[in-house]
């Protein structure tokens, strides 16, 4: 059995997850500027290059950065596995992904086809490196529980959407679209949202909700079945899309049902939590579950309206569910990591994790974010509103970055100034 | 037959429950929370000592691993004792902010710690010490906290 996950020294260096976490809001900020400078009519088409650019500033730049940052940090703790050469892998993949994402966004926006081809390579390389190293790390797990199974399933989906995504992006690059382009794009987006992000969030929630909030555990049978069933429903959805497109709504309803059950279960666990203290992360989790329910219903209903409301669906599920969960996680993980690593280095009089982020700034950030989501939905019907809500979103992302960075800065300041270095901790050092 | 894993995991649950009660008490009024704090602090200290003075020793003797997982767990116990002491001081000073800052940190640290123990160390202890599980659980039960 491998005990590396138990050790502070073997845990990934704090910079490995932090560089992903600190960069993510910047990409969302960039998306905000692009929304501000685009017109609502263009954005209502999901295949317009501008729409694809903005979507991926959020999905790659924000979602995947937060998710992979969290995976790098949590695999050792939640699954007890050690990622090979974690420092080097995270540095290299980070560089590839930053350049790839920027190449993709600007390439699509300014129609620079060479950028797109290079971006397809960089993004493909960066994601494949992270995904394969992580999947490889799981081979040492002895005791596979529901969370670990969910993480593995979601990484397999991540692998597939990376390959599809690289192909799709390269199609934009050479300007030739195969007959199946729209179908591939559809598979790519549905699997990314529900297969990669959705299953990962569910698997992590099994651990996180009891761990952070002393919420009751999800029932073992629910834990065991829900993610394999989502995986099966997503596979069924693909098969129906290929061979019986008029029946896809069956698989869709199944996927939606499973996510709604999860969302409502998570909400009831949160309400029944033993730890009554409420903070910004609870608000984010609760709003995420509600947006998931609305978003999922809209996604099914969308089928009966010629898919006219796809943009609204993306705002509700992508923004309301995934973005909310990711933001809530950032507010929890970053201060804890800063405290944990400083404490492990022997610094004793450091701010508690509660004092690292200004609570007022966090509340404003949350409020502006929710206002922006509602506003983006409204803008679909009243296009003149988009500019204003792009602004509220921009301010919200500036605040998010400020809040994250203020915790990160405490770490580097403390390391630099070395207040009351407590040597007694070193007698406790184990290795 | 008792199992070491079952016994200690259950005790984690008991400590979690006392932790939540303590936070409830402080939310209501920090002036009257001393009792709930003491209950949690005592249960936690007892749990630490059951491990450090009984189970870890048996494990180390059996496996010869003294610098391995048990050493890391002892180190984390030290971190948690520190936070507990800070929380005690906050209650005395009636400083709610300071209390929740430390209790929040303790909560996450404690849950990560418990997860590592329940998933790895206890499972391993159960494998190595299964023949003596009854005796070890009895010793932990009857141990007097120092």
What would the pLDDT profile of B54-81 be if each residue is shown by its tens digit?
A: 999 999 998 888 888 898 899 899 989 9
Residues of B in contact with A8 (CB under 8 A): 72, 75
CB contact under 8 A, B100 and A339: no
CA-based end-to-end distance of chain A: 19
Render A144-194 in DSSP notation, one character per residue.
--HHHHHHHHHHHHHHHHHHHHHHHHHHHHHT---TTHHHHHHHHHHIIII
Cβ–Cβ contact B85 with A under 8 A: no
Write down the pLDDT at residue B126.
87
- In this prediction, does ipTM exceed 0.85? no
Q: Angle at which helices A146-174 and A86-109 pack, to 10 degrees? A: 40
- A347 - beta bridge partners? A421
CB contact at 8 A, A383 and A400: no
CB contact at 8 A, A80 and B120: yes
Residue B79 buriedness (CB in 10 A; 0-12 / 13-18 / 19+) = buried
How close, in Å, is residue B18 to chain A by CA atoms?
10
CB contact under 8 A, A276 and B23: yes
Tell me the Ramachandran region of residue A85: left when phi exceeds 0, alpha when psi lies from -120 to 50, beta otherwise.
left
Angle at A403 between CA A399 and CA A407, to 5 degrees: 165
Tell me the Ramachandran region of residue A307: left when phi exceeds 0, alpha when psi lies from -120 to 50, beta otherwise.
left
Write down the pLDDT at residue A123.
98
When scoring A352, A410, A426 by the number of chain B Cβ atoms within 10 A, the one with the most, hence best to mutate, is: A352
Residues of A in contact with B73 (CB under 8 A): 6
> Residue A194 and residue B139: Cα distance in Å, rounded?
50
Nearest CA in chain B to A345: B79
A residues 145-204 closer than 8 Å to B (CB): 145
Residue with tokens 């007698």: A427
Domain count, chain B: 1
Write down the pLDDT at residue A419.
67
Cβ–Cβ contact A366 with B under 8 A: no
What would the pLDDT profile of A392-410 be if each residue is shown by its tens digit?
A: 999 999 999 999 999 999 9
What would the pLDDT profile of A1-12 be if each residue is shown by its tens digit?
A: 344 444 444 578
Residues of chain B where predicted confidence (pLDDT) is lower than 50? 1
CB contact under 8 A, B72 and A80: no
CB contact at 8 A, A203 and A167: no
How close, in Å, is residue A222 to chain B by CA atoms?
20
- A421 - beta bridge partners? A347
Render A232-248 in DSSP notation, one character per residue.
HHHHHHHHHHHH-GGGH
What's A91's domain CATH number? 1.20.210.10
Residue with tokens 């099966």: A232
User: What is the span of the domain harbouring residue B45?
Assistant: 4-142
- Residue A69 has, within 13 A of its CA and on its CB side, a CA count of 28
Minimum-distance CB partner of B78 among A277, A340, A428: A428
Rounded (10°) CA dihedral A9, A15, A17, A20: -170
Write down the pLDDT at residue B64.
87
User: What is the span of the domain harbouring residue A122?
Assistant: 4-428
The candidate with the shortest Cα–Cα distance to B136, out of B50, B73, B66, B72, is B50
Domain count, chain A: 1
Task: Tell whether the torsion through CA atoms of A127, A129, A132 and A138 is positive or negative.
Answer: negative
CB contact under 8 A, A6 and B116: yes
How close, in Å, is residue B106 to chain A by CA atoms?
10
Question: What is the widest separation between alpha-carbon atoms in chain B?
Answer: 49
Write down the pLDDT at residue A347.
80
Per-residue pLDDT 10s for chain A (431 aa) are 344 444 444 578 899 999 999 999 999 999 999 999 988 888 878 888 999 999 999 999 999 999 999 999 888 877 778 888 889 999 999 999 999 999 999 999 999 999 999 999 999 999 999 999 999 999 888 778 888 999 999 999 999 999 999 999 999 999 888 888 999 999 999 999 999 999 999 999 998 898 888 888 899 999 999 999 999 999 999 999 999 988 999 999 999 999 999 999 999 999 998 777 788 999 999 999 999 999 999 999 988 887 888 889 999 999 999 999 999 999 999 998 998 888 878 787 788 888 899 999 999 999 999 999 999 999 999 989 999 999 999 999 999 999 999 999 999 998 888 765 554 444 444 43
Residues sharing a CB contact under 8 Å with residue B10, sequence separation 6 or more, in sequence order: none
Write down the pLDDT at residue A10.
53
Q: A201: which 2 tokens?
A: 């969030």
> Residue A217 and residue A238: Cα distance in Å, rounded?
32
Minimum-distance CB partner of A353 among B27, B98, B104: B104
> Residue A353 and residue A212: Cα distance in Å, rounded?
13
The 10 Å Cβ neighbour count of residue A365 is: 25
Residue with tokens 């300071």: B98
Write down the pLDDT at residue A420.
58
Write down the pLDDT at residue A185.
94
């Amino acid at each position: 059995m491998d005990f590396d996950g138990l050790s502070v020294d073997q845990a990934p260096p704090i910079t490995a997850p932090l560089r992903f976490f600190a960069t993510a809001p910047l990409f969302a900020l960039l998306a905000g500027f692009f929304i501000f400078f685009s017109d609502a009519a263009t954005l209502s088409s999901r295949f317009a290059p501008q729409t694809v650019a903005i979507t991926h500033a959020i999905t790659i730049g924000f979602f995947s950065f937060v998710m992979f940052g969290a995976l790098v940090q949590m695999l050792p703790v939640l699954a007890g596995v050690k990622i090979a050469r974690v420092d080097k892998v995270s540095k290299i993949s980070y560089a590839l992904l930053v350049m790839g994402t920027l190449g993709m966004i600007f390439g699509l926006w300014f129609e620079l086809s060479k950028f797109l081809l290079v971006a397809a390579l960089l993004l493909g390389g960066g994601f494949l490196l992270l995904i394969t190293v992580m999947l490889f790390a799981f081979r040492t797990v002895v005791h596979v529980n529901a969370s670990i199974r969910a993480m593995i399933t979601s990484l397999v989906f991540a692998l597939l959407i990376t390959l599809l995504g690289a192909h799709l992006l390269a199609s934009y690059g050479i300007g030739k679209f195969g007959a199946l382009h729209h179908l591939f794009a559809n598979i790519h987006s549905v699997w990314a949202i529900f297969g990669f992000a959705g299953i990962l969030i569910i698997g992590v929630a099994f651990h996180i909700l009891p761990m952070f909030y002393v919420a009751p555990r999800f029932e073992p049978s629910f834990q065991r079945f829900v993610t394999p069933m989502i995986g099966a429903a997503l596979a069924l959805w693909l098969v129906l899309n290929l061979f019986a497109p008029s029946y896809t709504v069956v698989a869709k309803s199944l996927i939606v049902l499973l996510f709604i059950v999860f969302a409502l279960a998570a909400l009831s666990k949160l309400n029944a939590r033993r730890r009554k203290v409420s903070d910004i992360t609870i608000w984010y989790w609760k709003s995420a579950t509600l947006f998931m329910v609305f978003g999922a219903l809209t996604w099914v209903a969308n089928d009966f309206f010629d898919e006219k409301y796809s943009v609204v669906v993306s705002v509700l599920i992508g923004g309301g569910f995934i973005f909310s969960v990711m933001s809530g996680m950032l507010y929890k993980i970053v201060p804890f990591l800063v405290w944990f690593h400083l404490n492990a280095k022997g610094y004793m009089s450091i701010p508690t994790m509660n004092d690292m982020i200004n609570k007022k700034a966090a509340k404003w950030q949350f409020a502006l974010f929710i206002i922006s989501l509602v506003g983006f939905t409204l803008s679909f019907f009243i296009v003149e509103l988009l500019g204003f809500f792009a602004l509220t979103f921009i301010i919200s992302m500036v605040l998010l970055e400020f809040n994250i960075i203020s915790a990160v800065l405490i770490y580097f300041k403390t390391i630099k100034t070395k207040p009351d270095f407590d040597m007694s901790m070193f007698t406790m050092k184990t290795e | 037959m008792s199992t070491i894993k079952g016994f200690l995991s259950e005790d984690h649950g008991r400590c979690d429950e006392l932790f939540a009660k303590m936070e409830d008490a402080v939310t209501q009024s920090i002036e009257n929370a001393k009792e709930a704090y003491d209950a949690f602090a005592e249960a936690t200290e007892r749990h630490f000592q059951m491990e450090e003075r009984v189970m870890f020793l048996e494990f180390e003797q059996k496996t010869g691993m003294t610098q391995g997982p048990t050493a890391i767990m002892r180190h984390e116990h030290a971190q948690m004792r520190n936070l507990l002491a800070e929380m005690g001081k906050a209650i005395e000073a009636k400083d709610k902010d300071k209390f929740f800052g430390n209790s929040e940190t303790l909560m996450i640290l404690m849950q990560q710690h418990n997860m590592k123990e329940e998933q790895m160390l206890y499972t391993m202890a159960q494998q190595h010490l299964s023949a003596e599980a009854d005796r070890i659980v009895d010793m932990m039960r009857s141990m007097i906290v120092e």
